[in-house]
Structure 1
Amino acid sequence: MDDDLRKAALEYHRWPRPGKLAITATKRMETSRDLALAYSPGVAAACDAIVADPDTSFDLTSRANLVGVITNGTAVLGLGNIGALAGKPVMEGKAVLFKKFAGIDSFDIEVNEQDPDKFIEIVAALEPTFGGINLEDIKAPECFHIEQTLRKRMNIPVFHDDQHGTAIIVGAAVLNAIKVQGKKIEEVKIVTSGAGAAALSCVNILLSLGANPQNVTMTDKEGVIYIGRPNLDPTLEHVARQTDARVLHEVLAGADIFLGLSAPRVLRQEWLALLAPNPLILALANPEPEILPELVMAARPDAIMATGRSDFPNQVNNVLCFPFIFRGALDVRATAITESMKLAAVEAIAELARVEASETVAAAYGGVAPTFGPEYIIPKPFDPRLILHIAPAVARAAMEAGVARKPIEDFDAYQHELERFVFRSGQLLRPVIEVARKAHPRIVYAEGEDERTLRAVQTVLDDKLAQPVLVGRGMVIAAKIASLGLRMRPGQDVRIVDFEQDKVLFARALADYQKLVGRRGVPPEWAARHLRKRQTVAAGMLLALGEADAAICGGTGDWWRQFQYALPIIPRCAGATRVYAMTALIVQGGVLFFCDTHVNMDPTAEEVAEMTLLAARAVHHFGIKPKVALLSHSNFGGSNSLSARKMRAALALIRAQDPELEIDGEMHGDAALVEQIRAQALPDSTLTGAANLVIFPNIDSANISFNLVKATAEGVTVGPMLLGLNKPLHIAVPSVTARGIANLSAVAAMEAGLAGKL
């Protein structure tokens, strides 16, 4: 690495606090009773339960979600035997990846012991601590003996990622590459450069996938692995070939697959002509591969190329699988990770690359969505769908292999549970999605040509939430659908409305639109221009005309202007005097609904009451009992300012209209979220627990608070959701993602269903 990168890496590890990991408590520790429950005397109850039934340790401690990342530092990355202590930054990094990608907690343990049998004794003794063991950076051939012995001795999964992680991804890459090339696994000829732990595991998994042992030749730095080679390690005897060849280039002739897990530049460009037509070259040495992709493309443009680097297509990166294999294994409390579980992961990864790319994958490719083919045979490491494909596949395989102590009974429910690691909005939207699927309304999308909209619409179709209607130019939309690799079919799965082509519908919409805005200073020629050029106007009119049951607008340009375009078109619902905006924010501790974040600058007490009742009704639709806090700088009468009096007056109005609503105020923000703080200020508060719906005295306080919490808590947004309209219409903010549009679509579909208009 260069000096700049080295300095940056050291600063990254040093500041703002050393290292990459910390331990966080999962329970409150604020009162003497908390202490009595967490420690003495209450903890004895948990101890007694585990004595009676050791398996309750998974229910009463963190063990069920805890993995040990363990090394002796004998083969750390490409640095070699640098020792356990120097390997600690790598182990911390591995633990961070477990947490980031699969929500798994990890302890990194660096063992200063290079004797394999002593190392085994140390690790085996740690079994009561963990739900699984991830062995890391242990040199061959000792790693084989260590893993095999620990797997026999321990009743929890033991997985040496250096071997099996790489092998699983290579297996997926090979399956997809030969599919692209039109070859068969049992017929391809395979040559390796490297015969260490990873290379041997790769070959073993390819043999399990159907490769013919007679078609596999392994080489290492001493040459070909052949039968009768002096001092051949016993672990390689089953892959030794009967051959007179002794060096790498002598076995390359006719090879369909070159698998490099060795050293830089060992595959020469002039040797590439020896390979079979349409070869697969996996050059996985890091940081410099066995051959650079540009050399391969110059000499063999028919080749499919993969490396271990993120700056080239088809990166073979262990993070594609190890977090999700452990997720599936832990979730069924597996006693081991079997061959069938690894093969299930191979198939799941391969299958994922064959469906259209997610928005995140597109972003990783600079915004150009890859489609299955030579430059996209394995998913990107940051593809959020990995956990949804791999973990269930591994869990099923564990159950079929008979190593699952806690089988999963409902895989649909399990899939929903996994979504919390991907889209934290998943749990919040579950009841919304159920209503939406039953309703299956028509949703019109104003920005039908926008890439985010099209990705969202594909999700809407896959989840069977609605019947999409896209506003835009038909040819442009069709071309974008094709370029993004999406599966929707224009005219069949989605309806496209292009007012330049559909003159009858345009005339009908224009006549009604002119009636709506004629007395708002919009002359007829402007009305026609708005209908053609302002997509929000077009979508709103399709909703007003009954051509759709809900509308999603915005996502481009100024939010307020889009709102102004829509406001004259869709009337307010009965009894509503104004329209309001509520935004949901999902954070680690749960969900918070903020109101009003976007519309009303300084609502009156009557308007605060109205928005609260509308918002509470909307929260109910999410399957959540609203707990409402009216926020202020004043805490329960602490100030007599105008805004404080406004919130007190609003409370009285709300209680008069809905006496059953759990609400209190006016109060500080911390009092709203922490019951102990609230109890100190007002012991007889009618609000219990933490508020989930917070109402602000003005738009400044609402919007500022929402954005501060979103940024500091890394929250996921659903909204803004417009309240008070008689038909579901929502306007996305410019920063919205495809997932955000899909979330708004689910909300709109639910609202259409609840309105009983279908």
Structure 2
Amino acid sequence: MEEVYKKSVELHEEMQGKIEMVNKIPVDSKEKLSLVYSPGVAQPCLEIEKNPERAYDLTIKGNTIAVVTNGTAVLGLGDIGPLASLPVMEGKAMLFKKFAGINAVPICIDSKNTRHIIETIRRIAPSFGGINLEDIAAPESFEIEEALQDIGIPVFHDDQHGTAIVTLAAMINACKVTGKKLTDLKVVINGAGAAGIAIAKLLRCFHIDSPLCQSVKTLIVCDSKGAIHRFRNDLNKAKTELLKYSNFDDVEGDIHEVIKGADVFIGVSKGNILNKEDIKNMAENPIIFAMANPTPEIMPADALEAGAAIVGTGRSDFFNQINNVLAFPGIFKGALKARASTISTEMKLAAAYAIANSLENPTADEVIPSALDTSLAEVVAQAVEKAAHSERELEKQIAEAEAEMND
């Protein structure tokens, strides 16, 4: 790994960053200058003033998002601050461009105050067609995302929902391979941060009214102190809400106790917490998604030797890489094409099933497409756009019906 780190620094220094802005039109004559700037540019401005929707056609807004962070929860690095997080945000912007053709602008906000962050995003929103929240610590990330659902463009915290969507897609295919049913699964999640809670909500269909959503049978979430249950007095608001849809039997104990008899383990916290004996104590043909980076909760070879039927990690050097890049480019591309104001649960589920169904014949070594599959973003985008239009049409029909009733 030391060699990789060294080469990465050298590459960043050589290129002085990884992204740049490029003009679409060459400014090589007085005529071009008069069209792209003064005086001609006045007319597009007036068009947008008359009809704000025209901004999607006449400016970068229709294909540009902001990647916003405050650097409080960056990869495995933790709270490194906004400036130090910039290389990660540049990398994210590169992935949006590579896989979906979307322009993405890194915005690193120097504040840990949720009110300041919310206000900043509200003020910059007119320039963008969407906001991707990135590497913001929980529970502040929940509050920020929730508060911004009314700004007229999608605000999506990828660390939560991207991870949950790709995890669900992998589970759908893992069930096909093992012959298990989602609705019969006993699931244990280790990690009660943004990703763990979002995965739990999606797997339990919490506040989700959709025929696409099938809830797992039981689910227990563990944090560093063990199972989250009703008799603990150290739970924050987000962890307390977990109890509305998880651990109804108030199971107690550490991860080694809780995992006994489970069908699925999902790790989104720290590495090297499981051993072979833990895998042997699970149900027959267990599914292991050990997604801690860079060190998984258990190495794939050890999990397979102990009896795991399927193992996925967050790393590219192992099979079944559960990577958010399978989801976020296509989700935003579909949302932008639909000019959606939010990314709804129905759109998230559509993305998960599009990812899963893109593999016609999943196997134990391939329950999820390759992270480098550049064709997948378009498949996901089409599913998300279709879901957005369907919801919009349904809302229109409901509004018309209510109007008729009130006449």
Q: Give the TM-score of the pair, scaled to structure 1.
A: 0.50
On the 8 A contact 2:74/2:135 being kept in 1, the answer is: yes
Distance 1:145 1:187 in 2: 32
Listed as ranges, the matches of 1:611-626 within 5 Å are none
The amino acid across from 2:261 in the alignment is G
Give the superposition deviation at 1:277. 0.5
- How far apart are the structure 2 equivalents of 1:101 and 1:19? 19
Counterpart selection for 1:276 from 266, 283, 290: 283
Higher relative contact order (CA 8 A, sep 6+): 2
**Partner SS, residue 171 of structure 1:** helix
How far is 1:106 from its partner? 1.1
Give yes or no for the alignment of 1:230 onto 2:233. Answer: yes
Give deviations 1:464-508, integer Å, cap 9, x for gaps.
xxxxxxxxxxxxxxxxxxxxxxxxxxxxxxxxxxxxxxxxxxxxx
Q: Distance in 1 between matches of 2:17 and 2:393?
A: 36
Shift of residue 9, structure 1, vs aligned partner: 0.6
1:404: how far off?
11
Q: Does 1:337 align with 2:327?
A: no
CA root-mean-square deviation:
1.5
Q: Map residues 80-119 of structure 1 onto 2, 5 A cutoff.
A: 80-119=78-117
Cα drift, residue 244 of structure 1: 4.3
- Choose from 32, 35, 49 the match for 2:33: 35
1:211 aligned to 2:218?
Answer: no
Question: CA shift at 1:387, angstroms?
Answer: 2.1
Query: Which residues in structure 2 correspond to 1:274-423 (within 5 Å)?
Result: 274-300=281-307, 302-355=308-361, 372-402=362-392
Distance 1:320 1:244 in 2: 34
Structure-2 change in CA distance of 1:263 and 1:52 (3 Å) = same
Which secondary structure does the structure 2 equivalent of 1:89 belong to? helix
Match of 1:749 in 2: none
Q: Percent identity?
A: 45
Q: Give the equivalent residue in structure 1 for 2:68.
A: 70
Deviation string, structure 1 residues 691-735 (Cα, Å, up to 9, x no partner):
xxxxxxxxxxxxxxxxxxxxxxxxxxxxxxxxxxxxxxxxxxxxx
Once the two structures are TM-superposed, the CA of residue 286 in structure 1 deviates from its matched residue by 0.2
Give the aligned partner of residue 11 of structure 1.
Answer: 10
1:126 alignment partner in structure 2: 124
Rounded to whole Å, the distance in 1 between the matches of 2:189 and 2:374 is 31
Aligned partners of 2:228 and 2:252 also within 8 Å: no
Contact in 2 for aligned 1:314/1:375 (Cα 8 Å): yes
- For 2:118 and 2:254, locate their aligned partners in 1 and report how far apart those are by CA, in whole Å: 36
**Considering only CA atoms, is the larger Rg found in Structure 1 or Structure 2?**
1
Equivalent position SS for 1:353: coil
CA contact (8 A) 2:335 2:384 kept: yes
Distance in 1 (alpha carbons) for counterparts of 2:358 and 2:394: 25
| 1:65–1:131 Cα contact (<8 Å) kept | yes
| Alpha-carbon distance in 2 for matches of 1:25, 1:244 | 59
1:403 deviates by: 8.6
Q: Which residue identity is paired with 1:353?
A: L
**What letter is aligned with 1:117?**
R
**Residue 239, structure 1, aligned to residue 242, structure 2:** yes
Determine if contact 1:136/1:162 at 8 Å carries over to the other structure.
yes
CA contact (8 A) 1:272 1:296 kept: yes
Whole-angstrom CA distance in 2 between matches of 1:53 and 1:92: 33
Shift of 1:79: 0.4
Equivalent-residue separation in structure 1 for 2:261 and 2:129 (angstroms): 46
* Regions of 4+ moved over 6 Å: none
Distance across 1 between alignment mates of 2:277 and 2:385: 46
- Tell me the equivalent position of 2:153: 156
Using the alignment, how far apart are the partners of 2:31 and 2:20 within structure 1? 26
Q: Shift of residue 376 of structure 1?
A: 0.5
Instruction: Give the drift of 1:238.
Output: 3.6
Counterpart amino acid of residue 327 in structure 2: C
Q: Secondary structure at the match of 1:217?
A: strand
For the 8 Å contact 2:100–2:378, the answer to whether it is kept is no
Q: CA deviation at 1:116?
A: 0.7
Letter in 1 for 2:297: E
Per the alignment, do residues 304 and 319 of structure 1 end up closer, same or farther by CA in structure 2, a change over 3 Å counting?
Answer: same
- Cα pair distance change 1:119/1:280, threshold 3 Å: same
2:268: which partner in 1? Answer: 261
Does the C-alpha gap of structure 1 residues 70 and 403 become closer, same or farther in structure 2, counting only changes over 3 Å? farther
Q: Which amino acid aligns with 1:232?
A: L
- Once residues 189 and 403 of structure 1 are traced to their aligned partners in structure 2, the CA distance between those partners, rounded to angstroms, is 37
SS at match of 2:149: helix
How much has 1:299 moved relative to structure 2?
1.3
- Give the match's secondary structure for 1:69: strand
Deviations 1:376-399 (Å, cap 9, x if unpaired)? 000001113302321100000111
Residue 533 of structure 1 is matched in structure 2 by none
Distance 1:234 1:379, change over 3 A: same
- Cα distance in 1 between the residues matched to 2:345 and 2:166: 14
* Letter in structure 2 aligned against 1:8: K
The CA deviation string for residues 182-238 of structure 1, in whole angstroms up to 9 with x for no partner, is 1111111000111110011111111223224x6100101011100131121222234
Match of 1:13, SS state, is helix
Please give the alpha-carbon distance, in whole angstroms, between the structure 2 residues aligned to 1:308 and 1:404: 37
In 1, are the aligned partners of 2:86 and 2:108 still within 8 Å (CA)?
A: yes
Question: Which amino acid in 2 is paired with 1:310?
Answer: S
Note the alpha carbon deviations across 1:369-427, whole angstroms, 9 max, x for none. Answer: xxx2111000001113302321100000111121999xxxxxxxxxxxxxxxxxxxxxx
Please state whether the residue corresponding to 1:125 is helix, strand or coil: helix
Q: Distance in 2 between matches of 1:118 and 1:228?
A: 35
In structure 2, what is the equivalent of residue 167 of structure 1? 164
C-alpha contact 2:178 2:309 (8 A) present in aligned 1 = no
- Alignment of 1:200 with 2:197, yes or no, is yes
Q: 1:321/1:404 Cα in 2 relative to 1: closer, same or farther (>3 Å)?
A: farther
User: 2: CA distance between counterparts of 1:30 and 1:252?
Assistant: 66
CA distance in 1 between counterparts of 2:186 and 2:251 reads: 17
Q: Secondary structure at the match of 2:198?
A: helix
- Pick one of 44, 47, 51 that aligns with 1:46: 44
Matched letter for residue 228 of structure 1? F
Tell me the amino acid that sits aligned with residue 215 of structure 2. A
Q: Distance in 2 between matches of 1:128 and 1:103?
A: 20
Q: 1:252 aligns with which of 255, 259, 266?
A: 259
How far the C-alpha of 1:344 sits from its partner, in A, is: 0.2
Opposite residue 71 of structure 1, the aligned amino acid is: T
Distance 1:387 1:91 in 2: 19
Q: Tell me the SS of whatever aligns to 1:73.
A: coil
Match of 2:208 in 1: none
Match of 2:55 in 1: 57
2:7 maps to amino acid: A
Amino acid at match of 1:305: V
SS of 2:230 mapped into structure 1 = coil
1:730-745 superposed matches below 5 A: none
**TM-score (normalizing by structure 2):** 0.92
Q: Deviation per CA, 1:323-361, whole angstroms, max 9, x where unpaired?
A: 111111111111110000000000000001225xxxxxx
Letter in 1 for 2:177: V
Q: Are the counterparts in 2 of residues 333 and 404 from structure 1 also a CA contact under 8 Å?
A: no
Gaps of 5+ in 1: 356-371, 406-758
* Conserved 8 A contact 1:332-1:404: no
- Partner AA of 2:192 in structure 1: A
**2:204 counterpart SS class:** helix
Is 1:157–1:336's contact at 8 Å kept on the other side of the alignment? Answer: yes
SS in 2 for 1:84: coil
Distance across 2 between alignment mates of 1:59 and 1:403:
22
